[in-house]
Amino acid sequence: MVDLFDIRREYTAGRLDENTAAENPMTQFHAWFEEQKAASPDEPTMMTVASCDSDGQPWQRILLLKSYDEDGFVFFTNYTSNKARHFEDNPKAALHFAWLAQERQAMVQGVVTKISREETQAYFHSRPRESQLGAWASDQSAPLANRAELEARFEKLKSEFEGCEVPVPDHWGGYRLSPERFEFWQGGEARLHDRLEYLHNAQGWIKQRLNP
């Protein structure tokens, strides 16, 4: 057994108080996101997206958040990928943000739906051309014999689309997670962490503190 017992630290960066935290979780999320972006400008949009397959097996992967507002959180992927198949069977998903510079975590749970084709097109054409070609080249989650096969496919597409706009693949687009629950975590000394939960009901958002 690899003993990791001695790897430990105290969390002293701040506190999270239910009396001063925002009443709207999106307001709280935005405040924390902006603080994280200022503290750690490298990949501030990085998040873990969790889904469950038809057997109930959880899956996780890291994606990049591309936009958010009161309606939810938007990210993009291949519509034939594992995660997309999971969303078809079970549209409930979770996003997790590990903001380690601030000793914070945020989790958002809710229902995932596809965004409009117009929204997908607008984002797709804002991407670097190489990324657009990559969306065509990758049959995401399908078995691949070797990297050379993928690179050859990319070069073939690069030649095919030379001199013209790269169209949006039918098999690629965005999802929006509409939040039903938020949880914000701030590390605390002696493992007395601060945890705030926001639950949505017909009246709006209910905020409460949780035991660490």
93: how many CB neighbours lie within 10 A of its CB?
21
Sign of CA dihedral 205, 26, 115, 88: negative
Q: Determine phi and psi for 17, rounding to 5 degrees.
A: -110, 130
Alpha carbon separation from 164 to 158, 160, 181, 183 (Å, rounded): 10, 9, 44, 45
State the DSSP H helix or E strand holding residue 124, giving kind and residue range, or none if neither: helix 117-124
Say which of 15, 117, 129, 191 is annotated catalytic.
191
> Are residues 60 and 46 in contact, defined by beta-carbon separation less than 8 angstroms?
no
Q: Is 191 a catalytic residue?
A: yes
- Cα(100)–Cα(77) distance, integer angstroms: 26
- The two three-digit tokens of residue 86, written as one number: 């999971």
- The two three-digit tokens of residue 100, written as one number: 């380690």
State the DSSP H helix or E strand holding residue 112, giving kind and residue range, or none if neither: strand 104-114
- Cα(64)–Cα(142) distance, integer angstroms: 21
| Catalytic machinery residues | 191
